[in-house]
């Protein structure tokens, strides 16, 4: 049956701005995809790990004689590098004072500054970030150790072979430039004339860990989940679904750096454990009689969801909002259970590798800055945490990382225009396999690019699935049935003066087609004009230019 389809979208191939169709294969059916202008979106990848967007914020990241500025030093390119090539640089002092190369860059928040380095005639590299109490660390390139450090969150040196080390400095500062120093000994900034080290591949990025290097030239460069990249999400298992979400904001400005929270009789150890991201940026929070907390602006009467990833070191922890009614939840990671009070409702869901995503929903009783006790009352061993999020809405969406300020992820948009040949004009079939618990009116349609002529499959907040035909601006008879949460297979067939709705292997009902406009040229995860966008997950979407028989439609929609 699928061989007869004109367009088949099964989430598989994609690039930034495009979701590929399986059929046709020449690109005529590829969807246009957009989301926004930042790297706020994440997904669960095929390895079961949270995947983010990443960006190297430096320019000319391995061309140190361009955007970079020299002080008391010289640079020589074409040196033997860590990979067996000649992409490394010799950084050499030409005086007896301070010798460094720097790049001017104004940034704020949690950042990781890293470079690959190897000892030359000198054994020490200094990574230095200027601004607000300069962050710096001395790295011993002879012994592979970190030495004197100040005003940083942490630092790390990693042996990558052949005398090369990856050196990283992590800080939470407002900075004006970053520097690489030649040094002759620990704690001493001046170096001898002729002292040198080898450097390669500098990177400055948001977050608590230095990730895989991204080469830049005259602009910054990104990797991972990009601004307009479709998210093929593996939360449901081994097969991906297209994840489409509404605009949401993480109102918590520090979602991973918990030493950036206010603390009362609490101890936070940063980068204490491998997180659900698969890197060592999970934190240990210990507060048997204390707490860590944040002041976050809320609006009375609005519903919010707190979500975080937690892993047991002890058994339990609690979350509380001090808004007058004080909703709270106690999470027990050992028994995978929760206990709610004062209007809170919660969930605890296994994520993998001992991690759980814990959520608490509440309706705020106060407008203004509200103290939220993010972690309190842990047992004596504390709890590992990662990815603390609070968003306005009735359910938690995918994780939005923050590193010093609130971040908004824009809504997903997915559509294809100019495909009249792939949409049945006098007869056809529209099919989607999807799940939507967003609420509201969530639609998938074929149309003429407006809401005046369209066939729409709608997931309604009243727990119904509807077929909505519109002919020359007139809404025809709507067909509908109730549905339960989770995956549904839905088809509309039309032609021969009638149309029909099929849901999960059952023919629901039939309507009279009437006067039908045959200028359909757009398929969209919305209702034709971008409104009432579909939010949820889609396993597949299929069009036929023919009206399937009842038996074929029943077979296609059977779960």
Which of 406, 424, 442 is the endpoint of a domain? Answer: 406
Q: Which of these, 277, 239, 386, lies nearest to 50 by C-alpha position?
A: 277
Q: How confident is the model at residue 360 (pLDDT cuts 50, 70, 90)?
A: very high
Neighbour tally for 66: CB within 10 Å: 11
Q: Does one domain contain both 113 and 189?
A: yes
Query: 110 is written with which tokens?
Result: 């949690």
| Boundaries of domain holding 9 | 2-38+413-557
Distances (CA, A) of 547 to 447, 525, 557: 16, 21, 14
DSSP 179: E
Which structure tokens are listed for 229?
């990249």
Structure tokens of 267? Answer: 């101890």
Query: Final residue of a domain: which of 371, 406, 441?
Result: 406
489 in the same domain as 350: no
Q: Give me the CATH number covering residue 200.
A: 2.60.120.260
**Same domain for 359 and 321:** yes
pLDDT for the residue numbered 289: 86
Residue 28 lies in a domain: yes
Whether 226 is in a domain gets the answer no
**546 and 484 part of one domain:** yes
- Asked if residue 530 belongs to a domain, the reply is yes
Rounded mean pLDDT, 29-43? 95
* 248, 408 Cβ separation under 8 angstroms: yes
Q: Are residues 202 and 263 in the same domain?
A: no
73 and 10 in a common domain: no
Domain total of the chain: 3
Q: How far apart are CA 213 and CA 205, in angstroms?
A: 10
Distance CA 228, CA 490 (A): 27
Kindly tell me if the per-residue pLDDT of 463 is higher than 90. no
Judge whether 268 and 352 are in contact, CB under 8 Å.
no
Does 437 have pLDDT greater than 80? no
CA 448 to chain centre: 33
Whether residues 97 and 160 share a domain: the answer is yes
- Integer Cα distance of 397 and 536 in angstroms: 10
Burial of 168 from C-beta contacts in 10 A (0-12 / 13-18 / 19+): buried
What is the rounded distance in angstroms from the CA atom of residue 102 to the CA atom of residue 409?
33
The three-class DSSP label of residue 525 is coil
Supply the pLDDT for residue 323: 96
Asked if residue 538 belongs to a domain, the reply is yes
pLDDT in tens, 165-185: 999 999 999 999 999 999 999
Q: How far apart are CA 71 and CA 59, in angstroms?
A: 18
Q: How far apart are CA 308 and CA 393, in angstroms?
A: 15
Grade residue 236 by pLDDT with cuts at 50, 70 and 90.
confident
pLDDT, residue 87, reads 98
62 part of a folded domain: no
For residue 412, give the DSSP letter.
P
Q: Are 152 and 175 in contact (CB under 8 A)?
A: no
Has residue 240 been placed in a domain? no
Shared domain for 492 and 440, answered yes or no, is yes
Query: What's the CATH number where 523 sits?
Result: 2.60.120.200
**Beta-bridge mates of residue 389:** 307
Distance of alpha carbon 198 from alpha carbon 190, whole angstroms: 17
Same domain, 402 and 423: no
Cα(444)–Cα(456) distance, integer angstroms: 6
Q: What is the pLDDT at residue 496?
A: 85
| 485 shares a domain with 546 | yes
Q: Are residues 383 and 455 in the same domain?
A: no
CB contact set of 474 (below 8 Å; sequence gap of 6+): none
Are 131 and 264 contained in the same domain?
no
| 268-287 average pLDDT score | 97
Stretch 429-445: mean pLDDT: 90
């Amino acid at each position: 049956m699928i061989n007869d389809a004109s367009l088949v979208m099964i989430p598989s191939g994609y690039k930034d701005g495009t979701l590929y169709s399986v059929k046709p294969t020449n690109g005529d059916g590829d969807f246009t995809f957009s989301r926004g202008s930042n790297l706020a979106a994440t997904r669960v990848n095929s390895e079961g790990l949270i995947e983010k967007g990443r960006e190297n914020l430096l320019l000319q990241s391995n061309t140190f004689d361009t955007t970079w500025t020299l002080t008391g030093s010289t640079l020589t390119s074409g040196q033997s590098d860590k990979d067996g090539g000649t992409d490394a640089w010799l950084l050499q002092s030409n005086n007896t004072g301070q010798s460094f190369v720097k790049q001017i860059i104004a940034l704020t928040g949690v950042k990781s500054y890293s470079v690959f380095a190897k000892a030359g005639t000198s054994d020490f590299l200094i990574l230095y970030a200027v601004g607000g109490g300069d962050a710096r660390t001395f790295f011993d390139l002879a012994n592979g150790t970190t030495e004197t450090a100040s005003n940083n969150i942490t630092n790390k040196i990693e042996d990558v072979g052949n005398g090369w080390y990856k050196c990283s400095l992590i800080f939470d500062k407002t900075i004006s430039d970053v520097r690489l120093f030649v040094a002759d000994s620990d704690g001493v900034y001046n170096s001898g004339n002729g002292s040198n080290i080898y450097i390669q591949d500098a990177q400055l990025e948001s977050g608590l860990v230095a990730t895989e290097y991204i080469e830049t030239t005259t602009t910054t460069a990104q990797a991972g989940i990009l601004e307009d990249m479709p998210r093929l999400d593996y939360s449901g298992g081994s097969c991906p679904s297209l994840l489409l979400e509404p605009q949401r904001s993480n109102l918590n400005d520090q979602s991973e750096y918990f030493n950036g929270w206010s603390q009362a009789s609490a101890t936070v150890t940063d980068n204490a454990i491998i997180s659900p991201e698969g890197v060592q940026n999970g934190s240990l929070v210990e507060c048997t009689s204390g707490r860590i907390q944040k002041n976050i602006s809320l609006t009375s009467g609005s519903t919010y969801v707190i979500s975080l990833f937690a892993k047991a070191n002890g058994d339990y922890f609690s979350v509380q909002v001090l808004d007058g009614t004080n909703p709270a939840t106690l999470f027990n990671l050992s028994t995978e259970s929760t206990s709610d009070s004062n209007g809170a409702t919660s969930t605890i869901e296994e994520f993998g590798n001992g991690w759980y995503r814990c959520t608490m929903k509440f309706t705020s009783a106060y407008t203004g800055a509200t103290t939220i006790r993010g972690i309190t009352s842990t047992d004596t061993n504390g709890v590992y945490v990662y990815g603390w999020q609070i968003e306005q809405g009735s359910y938690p969406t995918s994780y939005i990382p923050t590193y010093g300020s609130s971040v908004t992820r824009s809504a997903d948009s997915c559509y294809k225009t100019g495909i009249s040949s792939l949409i049945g004009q006098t007869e056809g079939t529209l099919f989607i396999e999807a799940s939507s618990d967003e609420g509201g009116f969530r639609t998938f349609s074929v149309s003429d690019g407006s809401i005046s002529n369209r066939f729409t499959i709608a997931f309604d907040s009243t727990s119904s699935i509807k077929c909505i035909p519109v002919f020359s601006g007139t809404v025809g008879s709507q067909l509908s049935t109730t549905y339960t949460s989770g995956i549904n297979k839905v088809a509309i067939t039309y032609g021969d003066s009638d149309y029909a709705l099929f849901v999960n292997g059952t023919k629901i009902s039939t309507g009279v087609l009437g006067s039908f406009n045959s200028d359909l040229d757009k398929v969209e995860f919305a209702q034709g004009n971008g409104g009432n966008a579909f939010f949820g997950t889609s396993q597949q979407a299929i069009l036929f230019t023919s009206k399937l028989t009842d038996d074929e439609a029943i077979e296609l929609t059977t779960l």
